[in-house]
Structure 1
Amino acid sequence: MTLLGHDHYCDELLRQTELFGAALAGADLAATVPTCPEWSLGELTRHLGRAHRWAEAIVRTKATEAVPPGQVPDSAGPADEDPEALGDWLASGAARLAATLRAAGPDTVVWTWAADQRAGFWARRMVHETVVHRADAALTAGVPFDVDADVAADTIDEWLEILAFAQASGDKDAADLRGAGRSIHLHATDAAGAEWLVEFGDDGFSWRRAHEKATVALRGPLTDVLQVFYRRLPAGSDRVEVLGDRELLDFWLERASF
């Protein structure tokens, strides 16, 4: 696995946020987000804007523990009645976060919920948080969604890392992702080298970039494989192909949450 680089993440954070904002143009902010039905599109936008501001506060203050959300400035966001103001609020939070991350550099020690206790963790995490929620916004607004291959592949890498961390931390659903002799192959048909092998063992699962035969394979364009793996697109979609033991893929998707 090769990370994209700190400046690349900062640039991509701004780009993904801009694309998210474009999806809001002309959309019904009261519409329910199909992939996050507890939220409207406006609430999804405010969730993302709050996440950006929370990460910015952690990095800016070099926090050694989680910053209480109530202590994060400007975290409420404007109401849905002013879509332009909501989009501007989202963009300003991302811009502030990118500037703070650039000033800190990737190796500044800060609190995170993961093993990597550096500012670089938040740069990468907030890019992929924005990518996945942009998929939610695009689906709700009925606009196209696509991600550059390097970013999409890194989003899958990071998700596998998060799930492995969740399993090691005792997460109940992730703990079930075990059972020797089974495996999942992810195969992007439009991006060279974008393939993964997830292997189950008695004590958990492991993964690596590889092209190998598996118990079940998920094939399709990289953006669509990403969306299925993040449960933003059904595995039964005609945009992807499932070969082999479909029940194993469903088993994974039911438990792959954090």
Structure 2
Amino acid sequence: MTSLDQRPDPYPAPRPDDADDAPAASPVPDPFPVPGLDERRARLVAQTDLLRATARGADPATPVPSCAGWDLGMLLRHVGGTHRWAETVVRTRATGPVPHDAVDDVSADGAHPGLTGGDALDAWLEAGAAAFGDALGAAGPDAPVWTVAPGGTPVFWARRMTAETALHRWDAADALALAWDLDPAVAYDALAEWLEFSVLPQAYASEAEQRELLADGRTLHFAATDADAGLTVDLSGDAPTWRRTGGAAPAASVTVRGPLPALLLCVYGRRESPRTYAGEAEVLGDAALFRDWRHRASAWLRR
């Protein structure tokens, strides 16, 4: 993952629609309790355990359609390597980028030689998540560490790796035609993280790619059907912003509506597979704008 940490303020205030002296809107609280580091550690381990259960007994050579060119063994080596990469950052209190060969080299004879069988991969995933959880606990929530985007504490890594693991668990479930679901609170947190990234200029291929999305009155709204939760991306100002909107349904250029796990799959470009997840995200309004925004704002995922 490329670094996104150059922007000084990752959570810019939304641009007011009226005059500069208009009264500020009351902030909309999170629809779920904000998790502390211990809860985030537990979520990371839980998602890893669910991934292990999904893959247990499956052939590591099974193709993973949502990760082009990868098989299940490659996917699991990527997840386990990512956990170990983040663990190194937190355990060493790294102040700058850490080599990420373990993340990128997913071949059986690459950065993780010998990890080919299902049992070996299962035990390796378990050990990596446990070590990462221990490193997070030892560091505490406020220790300064390098992060790929604004944040700079172990909390960032616990949150990032939970989302990473949950999404790749979907990839494994889809490849194996198994059911997948996600706690709405975890899905909401991961969706909010994605939107936080989407307002960073470094998330785009270029500044021009971001600027071309901006236009008066242009907004995208995400409306949850399984919680009193909504999120809005505002593209009408000098730079993208996002805000929580609760259960309100503001007018928007495009509204993406569905259960929170389905909204998360949608922003990450995973297809909604009935065999995998029963929820569905419905795109209402300017679907072309949504697809364009999603593609441009997710350039960081393709680096």
TM-score between both structures, scaled by the size of structure 2: 0.77
Cross-structure match for 2:224: 188
Aligned CA-pair RMSD:
2.4
Cross-structure match for 1:254: 295
260, 267, 273: which is aligned to 1:229? Answer: 267
Structure 1: which 5+ runs fail to align?
none
8 A Cα contact 2:199 2:242, kept in partner: no
Deviates more, 1:211-220 or 1:15-24: 211-220
Please give the alpha-carbon distance, in whole angstroms, between the structure 1 residues aligned to 2:252 and 2:288. Answer: 13
243, 253, 258: which is aligned to 2:284? Answer: 243
Kindly report which structure 2 residues correspond to 1:34-49, keeping only aligned pairs within 5 A, or say none.
34-49=65-80
Deviations 1:34-68 (A, max 9, x none): 22113211101101101100111111111111122
95, 98, 122: which is aligned to 2:157? Answer: 122
**SS of structure 2 residue aligned to 1:32:** coil
Structure 2: which 5+ runs fail to align?
1-29, 104-110
Deviates more, 1:57-66 or 1:21-30: 21-30
Deviation at 1:119, TM superposition (A): 1.6
Q: Which has the larger radius of gyration?
A: 2
71, 81, 84: which is aligned to 1:53? Answer: 84
8 A Cα contact 2:218 2:253, kept in partner: yes
Cross-structure match for 2:115: 79
Pick closer, same or farther for the CA change 1:175–1:140 going to 2, 3 Å.
Answer: farther
Cross-structure match for 2:56: 25
Deviations 1:137-171 (A, max 9, x none): 11112111111111100000001111222x25664
Deviation at 1:229, TM superposition (A): 1.2
Considering fraction of residues, name the structure with more strand.
Answer: 1
Please give the alpha-carbon distance, in whole angstroms, between the structure 1 residues aligned to 2:114 and 2:216. Answer: 50
Number of paired residues? 253
Pick closer, same or farther for the CA change 1:178–1:41 going to 2, 3 Å.
Answer: farther
Pick closer, same or farther for the CA change 1:140–1:77 going to 2, 3 Å.
Answer: farther
- The residue type equivalent to 1:26 in the other structure is G
Deviates more, 1:2-11 or 1:45-54: 2-11
**SS of structure 2 residue aligned to 1:87:** helix
Say if 2:142 is the partner of 1:107: yes
Identity value in percent: 42
Higher relative contact order (CA 8 A, sep 6+): 2
Please give the alpha-carbon distance, in whole angstroms, between the structure 2 residues aligned to 1:226 and 1:60. Answer: 30
Cross-structure match for 2:16: none
Deviation at 1:89, TM superposition (A): 0.4
Deviation at 1:203, TM superposition (A): 2.5
Please give the alpha-carbon distance, in whole angstroms, between the structure 2 residues aligned to 1:13 and 1:86. Answer: 17
68, 71, 94: which is aligned to 2:129? Answer: 94
**SS of structure 2 residue aligned to 1:114:** coil
Pick closer, same or farther for the CA change 1:238–1:250 going to 2, 3 Å.
Answer: farther
- The residue type equivalent to 1:68 in the other structure is P
